[in-house]
């Protein structure tokens, strides 16, 4: 087993994706490192836009990851701590390649400064990124028929988590010219990407933000229904979902301005919500 690779993944997730790190701590010891490998991979790919100055360099980085996954499944993994850990995890947990490829391809959208065209395109992006990760996590924690039965829950839960995260990251994205609020929503609310990128919290911006919160909440409601029959073993894979309602509640407060107010929840508050979800078996 790749102790060095797994240690690297654990530290990477702990430092950069604390919500998923906390959720993984509720999983069995023998499954935890595999979850960290998946989460570390997701973080590395998602960080592509932040680590390059030009779209072409981003494409090169994403292609490196495509080839790394291809080599991994061909039995010739590249030398990289995350790939090293993934190679062990993929074999140990019999994980399919499609989710890795879908996640990499979807993050190509991050390299563009044009907003996502439609709500349907946004949902496809959320599914390919966040739902892929939740599907892989659920597969690590379950076996046989349970894996197939959890695909629907992973889809809705992943979309809810992605939409909530994109809303929380609005100021960061706006500062570098990115926008994950669909163009059709912006147009309906009479606001442009350029205006949003200035941090102006206009009536149109507020309306578009509220509509996105409502969309995230609707997917959270669907996910809660889909997860009612989920086996206890799979619960840690979906624990980040237990924080969605709290984050959305913060962003729904009267007068909330994402450009000047934080959506953070205390560590104790997040731990409490995850413990409550594990005990109750619902989110």
Residue numbers of the domain that contains 269: 113-283
Q: Report the alpha-carbon distance of residue 121 to residue 98 in Å, rounded.
A: 19
**In the prediction, which pLDDT does 62 show?**
97
Q: How far is CA 281 from the centre of its chain?
A: 21
With b meaning 16 or more CB within 10 Å and e meaning fewer, what string describes 139-153?
Answer: bbbbeeeebeebeeb
Compute the average pLDDT of residues 253-277.
Answer: 95
Residues 131 and 217 placed together within one structural domain of the fold: yes
Confidence band (pLDDT; 50, 70, 90) for 200? Answer: confident
Residues 91 and 118 in one domain: no
**Mean pLDDT within 183-206:** 90
Question: What percentage of the chain carries pLDDT values higher than 70?
Answer: 99
Assess whether 131 and 55 both reside in one domain.
Answer: no
Last residue of a domain, one of 81, 112, 143: 112
> What does pLDDT average to over the chain?
94
Residues 81 and 136 in one domain: no
Answer with the one of 112, 127, 146 that is the final residue of a domain.
Answer: 112
Last residue of a domain, one of 82, 112, 142: 112
Q: What is the pLDDT of residues 13-35, one digit of tens each?
A: 999 999 999 999 999 999 999 99
pLDDT band at 215 (very low <50, low <70, confident <90, very high): very high
DSSP-assigned states of every residue in 190-237: T--HHHHHTT---HHHHHHHHHHHHHHHHHHHHHHHHGGG--GGGHHH
Query: Is 215 in contact with 119 (CB distance < 8 Å)?
Result: yes
142, pLDDT greater than 90: yes
**Distance from C-alpha of 9 to C-alpha of 44, rounded to nearest angstrom:** 10
The residues near 123 (Cβ < 8 Å, ≥ 6 apart) are: 159
pLDDT at 1: 47
**In the block, residue with structure tokens 């959305």:** 248
| 58-73 average pLDDT score | 96
pLDDT at 2: 55
pLDDT at 176: 85
Q: Please, what is the angle between helix 29-46 and helix 55-73, to 10°?
A: 150
Q: Which of 53, 113, 46 is nearest to 82 (CA)?
A: 46
CA distance 171 to 258: 7
Q: Quick one: 165 and 108 in the same domain?
A: no
Query: What's the rounded mean pLDDT across residues 175-196?
Result: 91
Asked if residue 164 and residue 72 are part of one domain, the reply reads no
pTM: 0.95
Q: In whole angstroms, what is the distance from residue 100 CA to residue 129 CA? A: 9
Q: How far is CA 242 from CA 80, 221, 224, in A?
A: 32, 12, 10
The total number of structural domains that make up the chain? 2
Are 205 and 140 in the same domain?
yes
Residues 137 and 253 in one domain: yes
| Most confident of the following: 53-57, 75-79, 86-90 | 86-90
Helices (H) and strands (E) in the chain, counts: 18, 0
**211 and 133 in a common domain:** yes
136 and 100 assigned to the same domain = no
CA distance 282 to 177: 37
Instruction: Give, in degrees to the nearest 5, the angle at Cα 205 between 201 and 211.
Output: 135
Answer whether residue 188 shows pLDDT above 80.
yes
For the segment 150-181, what is each residue's pLDDT rounded down to a tens digit? Answer: 999 999 999 999 999 999 999 999 988 889 99
Say whether both 195 and 85 belong to one domain. Answer: no
- Please give the full DSSP string across 76-141, using - where no structure is assigned: ---S-HHHHHHHHHHHHHT--SHHHHHHHHHGGGGG--SPPS-HHHHHHHHIIIIIHHHHHHHHHH
CATH number for the domain harbouring residue 226: 1.10.600.10
Q: Are residues 63 and 158 in the same domain?
A: no
């Amino acid at each position: 087993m790749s102790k060095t690779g797994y240690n690297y993944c654990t530290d990477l997730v702990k430092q950069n994706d604390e919500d998923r790190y906390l959720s993984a701590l509720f999983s069995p010891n023998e499954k935890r490192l595999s979850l960290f490998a998946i989460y570390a991979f997701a973080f590395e790919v998602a960080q592509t836009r932040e680590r390059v100055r030009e779209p072409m360099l981003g494409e090169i980085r994403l292609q490196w990851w495509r080839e790394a996954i291809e080599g991994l499944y061909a039995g010739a993994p590249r030398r990289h701590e995350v790939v090293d850990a993934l190679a062990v995890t993929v074999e140990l947990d019999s994980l399919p390649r499609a989710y890795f490829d879908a996640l990499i391809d979807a993050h190509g959208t991050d390299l563009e400064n044009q907003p996502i065209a439609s709500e349907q395109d946004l949902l496809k992006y959320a599914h390919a990124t966040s739902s892929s990760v939740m599907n892989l996590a659920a597969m690590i924690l379950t076996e046989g028929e349970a894996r197939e039965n959890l695909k629907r829950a992973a889809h809705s839960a992943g979309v809810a988590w992605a939409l909530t995260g994109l809303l929380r990251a609005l100021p960061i994205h706006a500062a570098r010219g990115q926008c994950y609020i669909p163009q059709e929503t912006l147009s309906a609310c009479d606001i442009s990407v350029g205006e949003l990128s200035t941090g102006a919290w206009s009536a149109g911006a507020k309306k578009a933000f509220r509509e996105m919160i409502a969309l995230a909440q609707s997917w959270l409601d669907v996910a809660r229904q889909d997860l009612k029959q989920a086996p206890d073993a799979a619960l840690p894979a979906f624990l980040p979902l237990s924080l969605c309602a709290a984050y959305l509640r913060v962003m729904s407060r009267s007068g909330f301005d994402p450009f000047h107010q934080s959506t953070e929840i205390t560590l104790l508050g997040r731990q409490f919500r995850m413990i409550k979800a594990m005990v109750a078996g619902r989110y």
